[in-house]
Amino acid sequence: MKKHPNSITVANLGYVEKLIDIPIFLFNMFNDYNIIPLKQPIRAIVALAITLLRAKETYKILKEARSPLKNITEIQAKKLSVLINKPVEAKFVYSRPFLKDEQFTIPMFNFFSFTTHGKIMRRSKKTAPPFCIFGEFFEYLERRIKKAFNECKGNPTILLSAHSLPVKLLEKTKDPYKHDLEVFLNYLKKRLKKPIYLSFQSKLGPIKWLEPTTERMIIELSKKYSSILLIPISFSTENTETVYEIDKTYKDIAKKLNTELIRVSCFNDSEEFIGLLKTVYETSNRPCLP
């Protein structure tokens, strides 16, 4: 079916919501050159092997924490559609409904990376920039952090936890992801005048990924602070990395260290975030001056 020339899509990478989602998501993810930089058909064979090996572990995670990403992304699309009075669809890179030949797409990521925006740009004629270039993004996030920090007890600190990426891949593609996160970290430190740290989560495989890991930072910070306010800075939408990796795995680690770990929720379908999506849409589609 031919797409409408003004169709709008909001896009995330993928999800594991049901049992049937496990092989689809895992194979599509590991068959991605950005994850396993091998030529085909070797990459597909390796991806299939890893899928079979990780399926059982992923099933255990699914039993404890079903990913809310698909449902929330669909709600984001519906709310944005109402706000701009235009049809908006929710699609995904690794999961159904798949992103393909879109007209205009808003990637649901706060910072640019070739592993996120880059994938989506190849499947869309026009792609919106990352949220971090918009003033509304900084203002909204800053308000959320201030509110959560003021509610913390004892001696708290702030930890920004970003999704990790392979170091060699970043170097090869000259990906600005790590640099942009560090710039943002310095911005927050100056604005909030509070102790703030940056870490990386969700490493896959034996190769070198960005450091320090979130687990290591929780262990180190627990020696100095009674509570840690953790912000999943890469994500705009709740997913397995937030509801399982942070809310279960990292909170269990902090508990054993007698440290309180408090997570700030993702933007999800909050009124202010949908307003930001409207700004992103309008700015990206503003007519150029002659």
Supply the CATH number for residue 121's domain: 3.40.50.1400
Query: 94 and 214, same structural domain?
Result: no
Pair of tokens at residue 164 = 């990790």
| 134 neighbors 270 (Cβ within 8 angstroms) | no
Pair of tokens at residue 52 = 């079979």
Query: 197 and 222, same structural domain?
Result: yes
Task: State pTM to two decimals.
Answer: 0.92
Average of per-residue pLDDT across 1-11: 76
pLDDT given at position 3:
61
Query: 252 and 185, same structural domain?
Result: yes
CA torsion sign for 198, 117, 60, 27 is negative
pLDDT given at position 207:
79
Can you give the residue range of the structural domain that contains 12?
Answer: 8-132
pLDDT given at position 221:
98
pLDDT given at position 61:
82
User: Using CA atoms, how far apart are residues 251 and 230, in angstroms rounded to an integer?
Assistant: 10
Q: Where does the pLDDT of residue 181 fall: very low under 50, low under 70, confident under 90, or very high at 90 and above?
A: very high
Residues 125-157 pLDDT 10s: 999 999 999 999 999 999 999 999 999 988 999
b/e per residue 97-126 (b: at least 16 CB within 10 A): eebeebebbbbbbbbbbbbbbebbeebbee
Query: 238 and 191, same structural domain?
Result: yes
Query: 116 and 164, same structural domain?
Result: no
Query: 120 and 23, same structural domain?
Result: yes
| Whether pLDDT at 260 is above 90 | yes
| Whether pLDDT at 71 is above 80 | yes
Cis, bond preceding 232 (omega within 30 deg of 0): no
Pair of tokens at residue 162 = 């970003």
Tally of structural domains, the chain: 2
Task: Give the residue carrying structure tokens 């925006």.
Answer: 117
Query: 238 and 180, same structural domain?
Result: yes
pLDDT given at position 5:
62
pLDDT > 70 in the chain, percent: 96
CB under 8 Å to 216, separation ≥6 — which residues? Answer: 199
The pLDDT mean for the chain works out to 92
- HSE-up (13 A, CA, CB side) for residue 202: 18
| 154 neighbors 226 (Cβ within 8 angstroms) | yes
CB under 8 Å to 185, separation ≥6 — which residues? Answer: 160, 196, 197, 198
Query: 145 and 126, same structural domain?
Result: no
